[in-house]
Amino acid sequence: MQLLISDANILIDIEEGGLIQQLFQLPYEFSIPDILFQEEMEEQHSQLLDLGLQLGELSGETMLYVMEIIPRYRRASRNDCFALALAKQEGCLLLTGDRALRIAAETEAVIVKGTIWLIGQMVRHQLIEIDVARQAYTLMQSAGRRLPWDMAEQSLLEYEREIPQ
């Protein structure tokens, strides 16, 4: 199974949208840097480990890389740099909705996807219906999550055209 590295905001988006169970039914493995999980998520989101979230450990060499990129990408948080470094270490895709982290990842030649892509994957793998996706976006928006809502709706309209109802 393909490994995907996530930052915290993606997991929180999906959780706020009520789709966390479906996330872990996708044909991917999900990992987050152990230090990021401990500092930002463990207290309120420890159940994610029971669902299948893996904690990734950065090698010594990767920690040196983190120390190089933190000053280079000042708008990305230290924990975001850990997620970027883990994705680079593992040679896999990074999941983030954070603009500064997205820019840093693209500069570092790491492929980035976000919440809209994940929801699309749930629709494509028939884990949710389009109406459920729309409802999840409404829940995320009500919870104050920040996504490009017009792009989210546009992607759902495209799935509606692709998928026979």
Query: What confidence tens digit (pLDDT) does each residue in 11-65 have?
Result: 999 999 999 999 999 999 999 999 999 999 989 888 999 999 999 999 999 999 9
> How large is the average pLDDT for residues 161-165?
72
Do 85 and 66 form a contact (C-beta atoms < 8 A)? Answer: yes
Alpha-carbon torsion (141, 77, 4, 93), positive or negative: positive
* Mean pLDDT over the full length of the chain: 94
Quickly tell me which residue has 């933190």 as its tokens. Answer: 70
Q: What is the pLDDT of residue 88?
A: 96
Q: How far apart are CA 128 and CA 11, in angstroms?
A: 17
Do 25 and 127 form a contact (C-beta atoms < 8 A)? Answer: yes
Q: What is the pLDDT of residue 164?
A: 64
Quickly tell me which residue has 């850990």 as its tokens. Answer: 82
Q: Which helix or strand (DSSP H or E) is residue 61 part of?
A: helix 60-72
pLDDT surpasses 70 at 165:
no
Ordered by where they begin, the domains of the chain are 1-165 (3.40.50.1010)
